[in-house]
Amino acid sequence: MKDLIFSLKRSSLFQLKTELDVFLAHNTEEKVCDFKVKGSWFERSCVIYAGESLNIVAQMQKKDTAQSIMFGKDNFMVTVYPNVDYAFIVALIVILDKINKRQKK
């Protein structure tokens, strides 16, 4: 696909915590992921790593506020490290949120 930016795959079929491998469009062999997302919706947080390393590129905590509880409006506190695309990180967090909401149903 010409317009593909990245793709996601679960790191394994059976997971207690969500773990996603992210492959950028040029990584067609998908042998090693470009980014890894490790999230725990129970703890309402996730960490995004560069590839298989322990180098953190972004972190997210979901905040519970009166507004989020009463009106269902989620609040996220996101830290994006230098030289990392903010829009890319937001896209990953939105996808992770959708995956976890679907799993709850």
Which residues of the chain are under the pLDDT cut of 70?
1, 13-15, 41, 43, 67-69, 72, 102-105
Residue 69: inside a domain: yes
**Strand, coil or helix: what is 50?**
strand
**Whole domain around residue 49: which residue ranges?**
6-104
CATH number, position 84: 2.40.160.200
Residue 70: inside a domain: yes
**Percent over 90 (pLDDT), the chain:** 50
Residue 44: inside a domain: yes
Q: What integer pLDDT is reported at residue 69 of this predicted model?
A: 64
Residue 105 CA to residue 88 CA, distance in Å, equals 27
Residue 1: inside a domain: no
Residue 16: inside a domain: yes
* Surface-to-core class of residue 85, CB atoms within 10 Å of its CB (0-12 exposed, 13-18 middle, 19+ buried): exposed
Domains in the chain, number: 1
Rg, the chain, Cα only = 14
Q: What integer pLDDT is reported at residue 63 of this predicted model?
A: 77
